[in-house]
Homo-oligomer: A and B are copies of this chain.
Amino acid sequence: MDTFTAIRTKRELREYEDRTIPQGVLMRILEAGRLAPSSKNSQPWHFIAIRDKTVLKALSQTTPTGAHLAQAPLAIAVLTENAKLPEVDGARAMQNMILAAWELGVASCWIANFDEAAVKKLLAAPEHLRLITVVPFGYPKEKKVKRRKIRKHLEEIVHFERFGQKNDPYAS
């Protein structure tokens, strides 16, 4: 699947089939995260792959918006260590993983709002690490994702040369 198609078609999906993610697929997803760029190439991240149903269920109770974690066959936690730009670096790595997964037919849905201390306790993560997210992954239940993406129009968010300039002076 070409990159733009992956970007264009990817949906955040919360319902997954009761089907294991093959080892090779998991390793490919993690590799996409490993290859991500980061501030001064510091690679300040740890990725924890979680497939234990008990842990996934416990994780789902550490956030008000993560019920789907309990149904997922896999979740990947991203934590950073001594990062200069923890959210930026962590998000770039996870966005790589999400797109690489989607190319392989695996959906995901970013979750925020975690009780960070509770997550770190469940994952035995050292206190000084910073939790960026725990993202569930799984084969989507919906086979045909028909819904159009709901997004603002380009005109609402794109400016040329300076904020508020909507006409592109370089357009021919």
Contacts and interface: CB of A to CB of B under 8 A. Distances in A.
Interface of A: 1-4, 6-8, 10, 12, 23, 27-28, 30-32, 34-37, 39, 41, 43, 45-52, 55, 79, 84-85, 87-88, 90-92, 94-96, 99-100, 102-103, 110, 112, 122-126, 129, 132-133, 149-152, 154, 157-164, 168, 170-172
Report how many copies the assembly holds: 2
A35 B91 contact: no
Contact of A157 (B37, B46, B110, B125): B46
Given A88-B132, A95-B96, A35 B159 contact: no
A32 B151 CA distance: 12
A4 B30 contact: no
A2 B2 contact: yes
A96 B7 contact: yes
Given A124-B163, A163-B46, A163-B125, A34 B154 contact: yes
A151 B34 CA distance: 7
Contacts of A92: 91-92, 94-95
Nearest to A47: B158
Contacts of A103: 2-4
A35 B48 contact: no
A160 B49 contact: yes
Interchain residue pairs A-B with the least CB separation, the first 5: A87-B87, A91-B91, A124-B162, A3-B103, A125-B163
B88 A161 contact: no
B95 A91 contact: yes
29 contacts: A1-B2, A1-B3, A2-B3, A3-B3, A3-B6, A3-B100, A7-B100, A10-B37, A23-B172, A34-B157, A35-B151, A45-B157, A46-B159, A48-B161, A48-B162, A49-B159, A49-B160, A51-B161, A51-B170, A55-B161, A88-B90, A88-B91, A88-B110, A91-B91, A91-B92, A92-B94, A122-B162, A124-B162, A124-B164
